[in-house]
Amino acid sequence: MFFTDTHSHIYLPEFDSDRDDVMQRAFKNNINKIFLPNIDSKSVPAMLRLAGEYPQHCFPMIGLHPTSVKENYTRELENVELWLKKEKFYGIGEVGIDLYWDTSFRKEQIKAFSHQIQLSLKHKLPLIIHTRNSFPEIFSTLMPFSGKKLKGIFHSFTGSIEQAEKAIQMGFKIGINGIVSFKNSGLDKTVAALGTDHLVLETDSPYLAPVPYRGKRNESAYLLHIAEKIAEISGEKLETVANKTNRNALEVYGI
C-alpha cells in the first residue's frame, strides 16, 4: 500500500534544516509520490533543486499563486511561460483566486487565472486550483473553457457538496487535506456525502497539519492521518482509500 501527496511545498525554507529527514519519514509512511506546486518566480529554483534530488518521488509544477499576483503579474506570467519551455513540469499550479486576505488585485487575479487556464490547455497539463472566498469567480472564469478537456484538482477543498459536484462535472478532482480532521470544519460531512470516488489526498505542507499535529509544521508523512480520517468517515478500508486516491492522482498527473 502506498499514498500520493498531490500538493506539498516541502521545498520552502521551513524545511531547510531537515528536508532529507522529512523525505525519509514520508517514505517510511509509504508516501512515495509528492507533487510540488509552485508559488512564484522566487520559489522555482528551490523547487527544481528538490525535484532533481528525488527524481523518482518529487514532481514539480509551475504557476503563479493568486496571493503572489501583484502589479508585476504580467512579468511573472511571462516567467511561467519561459520555464515551460525550459523544464518538464507535471501541472500548472498553484493558480486560482484568493479573496480572503486581500481583494485589491481581484481583477488581476482573475486575468492571471484565465491566462493560466489557457496555458494548462495549451500544454495539456492539469490545473491545480486554489480557491479562497472565490467560488463564484473561479467558476465564472473556468466556464468559457468548459468542454475543452479541462482537468486538475480543486486543492484544499472546503466548499459545499454542490460546489464539489460542479467541479467534478467540469473534469476536476477534489483535494482533501488536514482540514478534514479539524473539529467544526464541516468538511467531514461534505466528504461523507460526496464519497471517495473523486478525491485525491494532499498535505499542503508546511500548512494545515492534520490532528494530532494541528498548528505545527505539516509534512508529507502526515498524509497517513488524512487517509485514516477519510477511511473512518467513508467506512472504507484504508487500502481502498489509498487505491482510489492513487488512481485519481494518476488520472490527473499521468504518473
3-state SS class at 120: helix
Rounded to 5°, the CA angle 192-196-201 comes to 110
In terms of CB distance, is 98 or 204 closer to Zn ion? 204
Rounded to 5°, the CA angle 189-204-148 comes to 80
Q: How far apart are CA 84 and CA 194, in angstroms?
A: 35
Tell me the closest approach of the beta carbon of residue 208 to Zn ion, in angstroms.
9
Interface map 186-205 toward Zn ion (x if CB under 5 A):
------------------x-
In terms of CB distance, is 47 or 242 closer to Zn ion? 47
Q: Which of 109, 108, 114 is nearest to 92 (CA)?
A: 114
Tell me the closest approach of the beta carbon of residue 128 to Zn ion, in angstroms.
8
In terms of CB distance, is 204 or 219 closer to Zn ion? 204
Q: How far apart are CA 248 and CA 90, in angstroms?
A: 15
In terms of CB distance, is 19 or 234 closer to Zn ion? 19
Number of residues located near Zn ion, criterion CB under 5 A: 1
Q: How far apart are CA 162 and CA 66, in angstroms?
A: 24
Tell me the closest approach of the beta carbon of residue 236 to Zn ion, in angstroms.
26
DSSP annotation of 204 reads -
Tell me the closest approach of the beta carbon of residue 204 to Zn ion, in angstroms.
5
Tell me the closest approach of the beta carbon of residue 240 to Zn ion, in angstroms.
26
Interface map 198-237 toward Zn ion (x if CB under 5 A):
------x---------------------------------
Q: Which of 19, 21, 25, 39 is nearest to 222 (CA)?
A: 25
Indicate the pairing of strand 199-201 with strand 3-5: unpaired
Indicate the pairing of strand 92-98 with strand 58-60: unpaired
In terms of CB distance, is 91 or 171 closer to Zn ion? 91
Ranges within 55-114 binding Zn ion (CB under 5 A): none
In terms of CB distance, is 98 or 234 closer to Zn ion? 98
3-state SS class at 231: helix
Q: How far apart are CA 196 and CA 211, in angstroms?
A: 20
Tell me the closest approach of the beta carbon of residue 113 to Zn ion, in angstroms.
15
In terms of CB distance, is 69 or 234 closer to Zn ion? 69
Tell me the closest approach of the beta carbon of residue 156 to Zn ion, in angstroms.
7
Q: Which residues lie closer than 8 Å to 125 by C-beta, 6 or more apart?
A: 61, 89, 90, 91, 92, 119
The type of residue at 84 is L
Binding stretches for Zn ion (CB under 5 A) = 204
